[in-house]
């Protein structure tokens, strides 16, 4: 199944993926409103974040694991693995903000919502053909392809 693969050899740390992610997950789908209004008012936050150590950087987010630790840890059923699409899906309605998944994910892919007792996690842009972060990347720092992972 298709997954997003980050490549630290070519990532230049421009954060465009984060910008695109925020807009893609906004209500308005407008860059300026998403970043200047929805971030402050609704706590809209990027699902992908650029990590940097010295000169090396890479844009990280949920790997949509074959056997996700976050799903094992989720006490409410908000997180489930869809074995047909390969996605690790999140249903915000169900979430009670217990932070078990945030603790269990060994990749640090889950964050707290800035205001709500809910988490923020990549959904691989459900509904889009190519995830917004991959489209926005000016290099091959993020690619979306099938490498045989479930």
Partner 1 sequence: MKYVIVGNGVASVGAIEGIRRVDPDGEITVISEESSPTYGRPLISYLLAGKIGPERMQLRPVTFYDKFKVKMMLGTKVTGVDAKAKTVATADGHNYPYDKLLIATGGVPFIPPLSGKDGSGVYSFTTLAHAETLIDVAKNCKNVVVIGGGLIGLKAAESLHDRGVKVSIVELAPRVLSAAFDDKAGNLVAKRLDEVGISVHCGTQATEIKRDAGGAVQGVTLKDGTFLPAQAVVIAIGVVPASSLAKDAGITVDRGIIVDDSLASSDPDVYAAGDVAQAKDLILDENRVVPIWPNAFNQGFYAGKNMAGAASPYSGGLAMNAIAFYGLPTVSVGVVNPAPGEQGIEVADNLDEEHGTYRKLVFKDGKLVGYVLLGEIDIAGLYTGFIRFKFPLDAETKEKLVSGRPSILQWPEGFFDEQFNPVGAQEIV
Ligand X SMILES: Cc1cc2nc3c(=O)[nH]c(=O)nc-3n(C[C@H](O)[C@H](O)[C@H](O)COP(=O)(O)OP(=O)(O)OC[C@H]3O[C@@H](n4cnc5c(N)ncnc54)[C@H](O)[C@@H]3O)c2cc1C
| Residues in contact with ligand X by the rule CB under 6 A | 75, 98, 100
DSSP state letters, the chain: -EEEEE-TTT-----HHHHHHHHHTSSS--HHHIIIIIHHHH----SSEEEEETTEEEEE-----SS-HHHHH-SSS-EEE-TTT--EEE-TTT-----HHHHH-TT---EE-SSSSSEE-----TT-SS-HHHHH-SSSSEEEEE-S--
Site for ligand SF4 in 22-51 (CB under 6 A): none
Site for partner 1 in 84-113 (CB under 8 A): 94, 96-100, 102-112
Q: Does 103 bind ligand SF4 (CB under 6 A)?
A: no
Q: Does 39 bind partner 1 (CB under 8 A)?
A: no
> Least distance to partner 1 from the beta carbon of 32, Å?
27
Candidate segments 18-26, 27-35, 49-57, 64-72, binder of ligand SF4 by CB under 6 A: 64-72
Candidate segments 1-9, 34-42, 50-58, 68-76, binder of ligand SF4 by CB under 6 A: 68-76
Which residues form the interface with ligand SF4 (CB under 6 A)? 62-65, 68-70, 73-76, 78-79, 88, 95-101, 105, 107, 109-110, 119, 121
């Amino acid at each position: 199944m298709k997954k997003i693969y980050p490549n630290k050899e070519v990532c230049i740390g421009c954060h465009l993926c984060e910008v695109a992610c925020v807009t893609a997950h906004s209500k308005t789908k407008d860059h300026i409103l998403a970043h200047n209004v929805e971030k402050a008012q609704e706590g809209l936050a990027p699902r992908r974040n650029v990590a940097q150590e010295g000169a090396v950087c890479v844009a990280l987010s949920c790997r949509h694991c074959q056997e996700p630790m976050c799903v094992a840890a989720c006490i409410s059923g908000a997180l489930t693995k869809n074995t047909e699409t390969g996605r690790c899906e999140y249903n915000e309605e169900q979430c009670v903000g217990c932070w078990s998944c945030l603790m269990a994910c060994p990749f640090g892919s889950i964050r707290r919502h800035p205001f709500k007792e809910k988490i923020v996690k990549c959904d691989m842009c459900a509904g889009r053909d190519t995830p917004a972060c991959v489209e926005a990347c000016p290099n091959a720092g993020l690619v979306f392809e099938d490498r045989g992972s479930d």
